[in-house]
Chains A and B, each alone.
Chain A
Amino acid sequence: MNPIARLYKSTIGKKVIMAVTGLIMVFWLLSHLGGNTLMFLGQEWMDAYAHKIHNLGPLLWVMRLGMLGVIVAHIWSAIAVTRISWAAREHSYKGGRKTNVSTWSARLMRIGGIIIVLFIFWHLADLTLGWVHPDFKMQEEGGAAAYHNLTVSLRQIPVAIFYMVSVIFVGLHFSHGIQSGFQTLGLNHPKWNGIRKMTSWGLGTLIAVGNIAIVAATMFKLIGGE
């Protein structure tokens, strides 16, 4: 049997898939945040960046399909693991179960995951496909669409709030997911656990605060002009 398939058979194997795909997405989202911060530098920078990405041609599609695969694998294994855990907890405590050390971020992983999926759909429909966008401009050769699209979208208050709530969940997902992913992959050592957890919280905070800053700045017209 294929080693990966054999590994996937166990609950731990499913978790490994979740951890690896999760960590790939962490890198992807951090670079996405890096790109987004160009909003602060102004339209030229942002559009030039969008333009570069757009001009990757087939490579862009490789990346898109790769990301799709990663996301599907992540969700697929998350569902599989959740089903196993729900089956194991078939009978819940009638008198309640106290939580002692479990964090909110850990407890919000499943619900957060669902919110994030919904957010991704909206985000693609909004800024990639323009289906739900009030004034969507297609990215054209030499055009200046990204900055415009983003500014227009985020000036709608409900949309901005949805974006902000979603990235908070992304941040929470990060702060449990990263350390949990390392733990799942066998990277736990009492001497380094402080750093593992700090990094996880730090990156969670960064992804949430960074993205909220961009959304808020746009919403409050600190960037993008009148």
Chain B
Amino acid sequence: MNITLKVWRQAGPKDAGKFETYQHDGIVEEMSFLEMLDVFNEKLLEAGTEPIAFEHDCREGICGSCGCMVNGRAHGPKDGATLCQVHMRSYKDGDTITLEPFRAKAFPILKDLVVDRSAFDSIIQAGGYISVRTGAAQDANMRPVEKAIADEAFDAATCIGCGACVASCPNGSASLFTSAKIAHLNMLPQGEPEKYKRATAMVTAMDDAMFGACSNHEECEATCPKGIGVEYISQMNKNLIWGELFEHDS
């Protein structure tokens, strides 16, 4: 298989960057997308050029490291999959593949396809936890949790923090990411006491990190590799509104 790669090359955070076009042949369809890039990087290396920098680690769709825009879509053509879970059998000979980093004010580009997503960490640090000290907990079965609620909290908690939601959003909003974590914790009885404080703190951190506002295009949901739904955004809003209007203690 022979493919034309159009890749965003940017030497560093301050570099302007531009697309470079390459020919890449000898691709076999069992290759994963990232292995296709590995093989191409070997070629660049042999030619004495710097290989394409891209982030990846577990290569099984759970660590959230990988991802870029592939032909304008986050994580490439497959629904419910990260880029590392895409295989070259999704392409055919002669295709052109355009690779561009996730873009958002809050995700500055570090190099080529590598972006800095630490703004996500700052949102979690603001309130994405239950304040419990190690060793202070009662027996785990003291407090039953309805199965449906536990399952839904789990669904919200499967977010891998890859940033595809921000990258796909016309507004560069991190609402899906933030709301999934708020929903996961606020839904559980353990997270109840800090519910409103958490929503306010995390939304404030999200705004401070220069993410955009949600305008309900639902592009995030469509490209989320874990299929996390926009209903959590609505729940986040509800928690925030109620908290600010009625539960704020100042």
Contacts and interface: CB of A to CB of B under 8 A. Distances in A.
Interface in A44-94: 81, 84-94
Contacts of A188: 230-231, 233-235
Interface stretch (A98-106, A135-143, A165-173, A216-224): A98-106
Interface in B197-243: 200, 203-204, 206-207, 210-219, 221-223, 229-231, 233-242
Nearest to B250: A1
B219 to A, nearest CB: 5
A87 B244 contact: no
Given A7-B245, A98-B71, A183 B171 contact: no
Nearest to B98: A95
Contacts, number: 163
Contacts of B239: 186
If over half of B's interface residues share one DSSP class (helix, strand or loop), that class is named, otherwise mixed; here it is mixed
A102 B170 contact: yes
Nearest to B204: A10
B168 A94 contact: no
A186 B173 contact: no
A96 interface: yes
A13 B236 CA distance: 12
A11 B104 CA distance: 17
B241 A16 contact: yes
A94 B69 CA distance: 11
A106 B217 contact: yes
A7 B244 contact: yes
B72 A89 contact: no
B77 to A, nearest CB: 10
Given A95-B98, A190-B231, A90 B105 contact: yes
Contact of A11 (B19, B170, B213, B223): B213
Given A95-B69, A98-B71, A101-B219, A6 B234 contact: no
B104 A98 contact: no
Contacts of B100: 93-95
A90 B213 CA distance: 13
16 contacts: A15-B214, A16-B237, A85-B213, A88-B172, A90-B105, A95-B69, A96-B98, A99-B219, A100-B222, A183-B216, A183-B237, A184-B234, A185-B238, A186-B234, A186-B237, A188-B234
Given A12-B240, A183-B237, A193-B231, 8 more contacts: A10-B200, A11-B212, A12-B237, A88-B171, A91-B103, A97-B168, A98-B71, A106-B217
